[in-house]
Amino acid sequence: MLVPPGIAYIDHDYVPMEDAKISVLDWGFLHSDATYDVVHVWKRRFFRLDVHIDRFLESARRIHLELPVGKPELEMILAECVSRSGHEDAYVEMVLTRGTSPTFSRDPRDAENRLVCFAIPFGWILHPDRREQGLSVAVSEIQRIPPASVDPRVKNYHWLDFVMGLYDAYDRGAENVILKDAGGNLTEGPGFNVFAVHAQTLSTPRRGVLEGVTRRTAIELARSLGMAVEERDVHADELANADEAFATSTAGGIMPITRINTEPVGDGNAGPVTKRLIDAYWHKHDDPDWSVGVNEILSRKE
């Protein structure tokens, strides 16, 4: 099967992406019983690696998974995957599944947790060539899985709500989707958080969402630029009448949303606040306070 080029770390070995395979008896495959995180590498530097790894460890802890390696070793594995892949810009994922048990026991405590990491080419939810045009999203009536059932702060693969939402969006002529909660407030999209901009004030859903690293970065950058940011319930109508809207994700950074349910947001083009944040975001990618070189990590081995 054709897969993107890259290198994976699986069962204590580095292998080409096409050879990275797990048992069909893994709880991760059978029950979506896993957590994961994605960090990106830009010009051979990891962006906010510390924050991603801390979130990954916290996600694992919350769902009773145990990482087989410590934090320094995990950093080394991720850097090794990127280095061996040869990619300058990479999408780097770490996955921890419940794993398999030798007896096919139905007790999750009997399974041996499995760590898989990989580096493949950088992926975009919205390619920079289309930045001016922006994303077209639908706000679906398919409800996001409630936080009382699956904690959205644990990055997870319970994606059927999102995937059904995507089909709903395609039917309605949009390319991506945002789901609401039971109260009609916005939550998030498949792999991205959402912001609405009214004048110079940003608002973003405060609950029922993954606390995205890009979301946090956008909040910090906006505040440092003197903008007001409100983390609160944001009703779907507020997005429809916003001056600007944008999505945030490690898979592409800060990305303008220019159409909601086929109607233009503001004048239908990427707005000035969003563009300012996009510039600030990419500018931070070689700042040593926010990024670390792949070789810098590898050189710790000696």
Ligand X SMILES: *Cc1c(COP(=O)(O)O)cnc(C)c1O
Binding site for ligand X (CB under 6 A): 38, 155, 188, 191-193, 210, 212-215, 248-250
Alpha carbon 194 to its chain centroid, in Å, reads 12
CB of 189 to ligand X, least distance (A): 7
Distance CA 247, CA 23 (A): 35
* Cβ distance to ligand X smaller for residue 218 or 242: 218
**Is residue 255 within 8 Å of residue 40, measured between CB atoms?**
no
CB of 96 to ligand X, least distance (A): 15
**Is residue 207 within 8 Å of residue 185, measured between CB atoms?**
no
* Cβ distance to ligand X smaller for residue 155 or 259: 155
Q: Which residue, judged by CB position, is nearest to ligand X in the bound state?
A: 212
CB of 37 to ligand X, least distance (A): 8
CB of 53 to ligand X, least distance (A): 12
Pairing of the two strands 201-205 and 228-232: parallel
CB of 244 to ligand X, least distance (A): 19
CA angle, 24 then 27 then 29, to 5°:
50
* Cβ distance to ligand X smaller for residue 103 or 149: 149
* Cβ distance to ligand X smaller for residue 204 or 250: 250
Q: Which residue has the tokens 């989707």?
A: 177
**Is residue 259 within 8 Å of residue 174, measured between CB atoms?**
yes
**Is residue 35 within 8 Å of residue 63, measured between CB atoms?**
yes
* Cβ distance to ligand X smaller for residue 31 or 300: 31
